[in-house]
Structure 1
Amino acid sequence: MSGETINIKGADGSFSGYLARPEGAGKAPGIVVIQEIFGVNKVMRDLCDWLAGEGYVALCPDLFWRIEPGIDITDQTEAEWKKAFDLFGKFDVDKGVGDIAATIKTLRPMTSGKVGAVGYCLGGQLAYLTACHTDADASVGYYGVNIQNRLADAKGIKAPLMLHIAGKDEFVPKEAQEEVVKGLHDNPLVTIHRYPDMDHAFARPGGAHYDKANADEANDRTLKLFARHLG
């Protein structure tokens, strides 16, 4: 397993991505890893490496490239949080979805043909929109923000989507959670798992709200979905 930085050609420019491949010969399925508001940082690179260890070609694109390429910050200082929220405020979600579509197009020839997507926080919303607007073969979103504002997009879902919702998410109020559950309840392609006592980013190792038991459960569910639909 090895990681490298590659170039991804988008509709209106090129940007970088962190690519991790599984060991051994032969082609494997692919997964686009969609960043949080901290850029393509160690947490995201570690996720790519983890997925490569599980047998996937994992690629995490730099979605903040239009604002500032190469963002790599943590959740450990107030200054970094301020920077992250500033980036989040300037970020164009729909252009980000276009960049994810370009990333899928770049990744697919490196794989056995099937490509999924998994995203966290901002990336959780983007994973949902990836299911709505791209040809990803399966998508998973962890504690996605603002999904309740984009429920009309759900009509575009054509492949399996799994959402992990934190019951005590400080960035997703209860009312918003219920809107998402109600809005997607009748869609047979959507599976929602709820973690009643968890706060935002419960699956981010090293984060203030990390909970290993719930993170392991969510990750197991994610891997099983990918095994079913990307294998």
Structure 2
Amino acid sequence: MSRDTNAKTAEFDSLLPSAQLNRRAFITTLTAAGFALAVQPVQASTVINTDSAGLDTGNATVNTATGELPLYFARPAGGMKLPTVLVIQEIFGVHEHIRDVCRRLAKQGYLAIAPELYFRQGDPTKLDNVGAILSGIVSKVPDAQVMSDLDACAAWAPGHGGDAARLAITGFCWGGRITWLYAAHNPKLRAAVAWYGRLDGAPSELMPKHPLDIAGSLHAPVLGLYGGKDQGIPVVDVDAMRDALKKAGKAGELVVYPDAPHAFNADYRPSYRPTEAADGWKRMLAWFERNGV
């Protein structure tokens, strides 16, 4: 850890005299703080708006053992046997930014699917602050449930224009962490791109492992896109993941944009960095193509 990080650790420890925070717990605390700092009012001048001309878009549901999973999809109109990308939400759910990402991918020839992965736990659009979303919804979502829901979406895709043999995943923030986990879960996945997804954290019953724990179990190559000024994901974690992939002999690439904060692709927030976001988008499309998606 850097000197500044050590100082912050000491400050948190002084506030919690009954229990010393280990490194993972500390990172989890910083991550939550990073969300709060990143969420600001929408900046209308920078929001990317992708129209639906030439696309089939809409809402659908997927059967699961515990309910109907809602999703948003976008694909080229009339497209069949399309390469398929699962698009995983931020903590804020499938809002317009995530739907726009789906339409952007559809314009590139993909079937893009964004499932509402919190539908059993609650609706983040009904809550007015990050703390309530984290404690009231996100903390109650089991990783195993998410993996099962994504499997259901992958199974839904071939009947709705997708190609089961060309499956990829990408996710942002909370969804970036899920992207890493799904790359270790689904042996049929061809490629994954994680945007500023947390790599380490305190294990729990619902989240027993984090990306650094499963680096040696990846089935698909992962491209990780990170900000050097992310207050919740230290560069030391990115370096650790890079080393873990190399040690395990797993294909992957981690890119750090030195001056970018967390959520640098979120065009509706002041954290947006258009240069880094555009570069990341190009890298993502190239990664999918390189890996047969």
Do they fold alike, i.e. is TM over 0.5? yes
In 1, are the aligned partners of 2:215 and 2:241 still within 8 Å (CA)? no
Q: Alignment partner for residue 192 of structure 1, among 248, 254, 272?
A: 254
CA shift, 1:154, in A, is 2.3
**2:218 is equivalent to residue 157 of structure 1:** yes
**2:74 is equivalent to residue 23 of structure 1:** no
**2:110 is equivalent to residue 82 of structure 1:** no
Q: Alignment partner for residue 93 of structure 1, among 124, 143, 162?
A: 143
| Larger Rg belongs to | 2
Matches for 1:133-172 after TM superposition, within 5 Å = 133-134=185-186, 135-147=188-200, 149-172=210-233
C-alpha distance 200-219 of structure 1, shift in aligned 2 (>3 A)? same
Aligned to 2:286: 224
In 2, are the aligned partners of 1:125 and 1:147 still within 8 Å (CA)? no
**CA distance in structure 1 between the aligned counterparts of 2:80 and 2:144, rounded to whole angstroms:** 34
In 2, are the aligned partners of 1:128 and 1:147 still within 8 Å (CA)? no
Instruction: State the percentage of identical aligned residues.
Output: 28
Q: Encode CA deviations 1:157-194: one digit per residue, 9 max, x unaligned.
A: 12221111211111112333332222223434211111
**2:182 is equivalent to residue 112 of structure 1:** no
In 2, are the aligned partners of 1:97 and 1:130 still within 8 Å (CA)? yes
Larger RCO, structures 1/2 (Cα 8 Å, 6+ apart): 2
Aligned to 1:126: 178
In 2, are the aligned partners of 1:119 and 1:140 still within 8 Å (CA)? yes
CA shift, 1:156, in A, is 2.3
CA shift, 1:25, in A, is 4.2
- Structure 1: which 5+ runs fail to align? none
CA shift, 1:2, in A, is 2.8
**2:204 is equivalent to residue 204 of structure 1:** no
CA shift, 1:11, in A, is 4.3
Q: Alignment partner for residue 47 of structure 1, among 94, 101, 109?
A: 101
**Greater mean deviation of Cα atoms: 204-213 or 178-187:** 178-187
C-alpha distance 137-43 of structure 1, shift in aligned 2 (>3 A)? same
Q: Encode CA deviations 1:29-55: one digit per residue, 9 max, x unaligned.
A: 110000110001101111111101111
Report the residue type matching 1:122 in the other structure. Answer: W
Q: Encode CA deviations 1:105-130: one digit per residue, 9 max, x unaligned.
A: 21144313311100000100000011
Q: Secondary structure at the match of 1:50?
A: helix
- Structure 2: which 5+ runs fail to align? 1-54, 202-209
**Greater mean deviation of Cα atoms: 218-227 or 163-172:** 163-172
- How many residue pairs match? The answer is 226
TM-score between the two structures when normalised by the length of structure 2? 0.71
In 2, are the aligned partners of 1:22 and 1:53 still within 8 Å (CA)? yes
**CA distance in structure 2 between the aligned counterparts of 1:96 and 1:170, rounded to whole angstroms:** 26
